């Protein structure tokens, strides 16, 4: 399976989803003009990945900021990833946060049914 990779821009996050690597990553700022359009290719890619995931998948979220429409897309990403443990494979999510992103991570942790670690970023 091909990797899904996009470099970060001032308005969009870096997306590094490489099945050959140990970790998937989303980092930066997520305030695209159209979040649904921006995240659709990744969501389609995840549909394929969750049908045949690696034995262990780690997803790191290192977002500095995201808008409301991006938040809805993140929920969709997490919902797709929730299917991985149902296949008997392992999934973990690491939410890296500073003061501004802690509450958002805790909110996701409440609604997502996967192992979800909160990791504070030191200044």
pTM reported for the whole predicted model: 0.94
3-state secondary structure (DSSP) of residue 79: helix
Q: pLDDT above 90 covers what percent of the chain?
A: 89
Contacts of 23 (CB under 8 A, 6+ apart): 58, 59, 60
| pLDDT one-digit tens code per residue, 1-39 | 899 999 999 999 999 999 998 799 999 999 999 999 999
Question: Within the chain, where are the H helices?
Answer: 35-51, 68-81, 102-111
Q: What is the CATH number of the domain that holds 100?
A: 3.30.750.24
Structural domain boundaries enclosing 69: 4-120
* Count of domains forming the chain: 1
What pLDDT score was predicted for residue 123?
A: 66
Q: pLDDT above 70 covers what percent of the chain?
A: 99
In angstroms, how far is the first alpha carbon of the chain from the final one?
Answer: 37
CA–CA dist 75, 1 (Å, integer):
24
Nearest to 97 by CA among 118, 67, 73, 72: 118
């Amino acid at each position: 399976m091909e990797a899904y990779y996009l470099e970060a821009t001032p308005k969009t996050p870096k997306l590094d989803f490489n099945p050959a690597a140990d970790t998937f990553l989303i980092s930066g700022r997520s305030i695209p003009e159209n979040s649904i359009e921006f995240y659709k290719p990744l969501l389609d890619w995840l549909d394929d990945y969750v049908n045949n995931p690696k034995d262990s998948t780690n997803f790191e979220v290192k977002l500095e900021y995201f808008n409301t429409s991006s938040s809805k897309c993140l929920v969709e990403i997490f919902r797709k990833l929730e299917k991985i443990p149902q296949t008997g494979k392992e999934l973990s999510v690491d939410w890296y946060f500073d003061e501004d992103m802690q509450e958002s991570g805790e909110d996701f942790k409440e609604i997502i049914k996967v192992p979800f670690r909160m990791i504070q970023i030191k200044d």
